[in-house]
Structure 1
Amino acid sequence: MKPDLKSIFKQIEKVQEELERVQAELENKTVTEEVGGGMVKVTVNGKREVVKIEIEREVVNPDDIEMLEDLLIAAVNKALQSADKMISEEIAKVTSGLLPGIPGLPFNFPGFKA
């Protein structure tokens, strides 16, 4: 039995429209992660952009800038990982079932502008 190409292309078009909708929604979704017991907090949106950094005064020590730098790096990386997870989960909702055995496509597949 031959696959119905017209039906397949309609399904692909529908998924593409849904992905565009999800991409627009992700621009407004954020995740916030903290390190150092909440001393440094970083917020990232669904476009993987850092939109906010909060630093408690106690962690700002001119004699120990390296500690602050390390905390910032850790918080940004943690927030980016959470954003990637959020993006992948949202895309998996749209793409799951599209290809049997593949739960969802990675967030950086061709055509998705993250």
Structure 2
Amino acid sequence: MRGNMKNMMKQMQKMQKDMGQAQEKLEQKTFTGVANDDLVKITMNGKREVQDVKIKEDIAEMGDSEFLEDLVLLALNDVLQQVENETEQVMGKYTNNLNIPGM
């Protein structure tokens, strides 16, 4: 029994290390959300920090602020969904096997 516990602890430590490395890689990745054929582009990293916002000049010159706001929201939601999907895919390898309430 003691050997099983020791092995389990080693496995948990390895999994924790692997999770940390996967999280670091994820945080360094960049994602780009777009709206309406690249009229608005938002780039974000895996930490969900916005790195860049690009708005095509012709849309900015239209003067329709509501339309521009909608495009920004679309691009932002697009990039957030990409980050969320990647996070679930990468970290799910580790968390799906755990039966911890609330995770």
Displacement of 1:27 in angstroms is 2.2
Deviations 1:9-63 (A, max 9, x none): 2111111101111121122101112111110011111111111111101111463
Deviates more, 1:54-63 or 1:41-50: 54-63
RMSD: 2.6
Q: Which residue of 2 aligns with 1:56?
A: 56
* Ranges in structure 1 where 5+ consecutive residues have no aligned partner: 110-114
Q: d(CA) in 1 for partners of 2:44 and 2:88? A: 15
Q: Which residue of 2 aligns with 1:87?
A: 87
* Ranges in structure 2 where 5+ consecutive residues have no aligned partner: none
Q: d(CA) in 1 for partners of 2:63 and 2:48? A: 32
Contact 1:48 1:84 in 2 (8 A): no
Q: 1:28-67, aligned counterparts within 5 Å? A: 28-61=28-61, 63-67=63-67
Contact 2:27 2:46 in 1 (8 A): yes
Change (3 A) 1:96 1:63: closer
Contact 2:33 2:77 in 1 (8 A): no
Q: Which residue of 1 aligns with 2:70?
A: 70
The alignment-based identity, stated in percent, is 34
Deviations 1:59-108 (A, max 9, x none): 11463111111110111111011011112212234x27844xx8xx9xxx
Structure-2-length-normalised TM-score? 0.82
The number of residues matched between the two structures is 101
Q: Which amino acid aligns with 2:45?
A: N
Q: Which residue of 2 aligns with 1:24?
A: 24
Q: d(CA) in 2 for partners of 1:37 and 1:97? A: 36
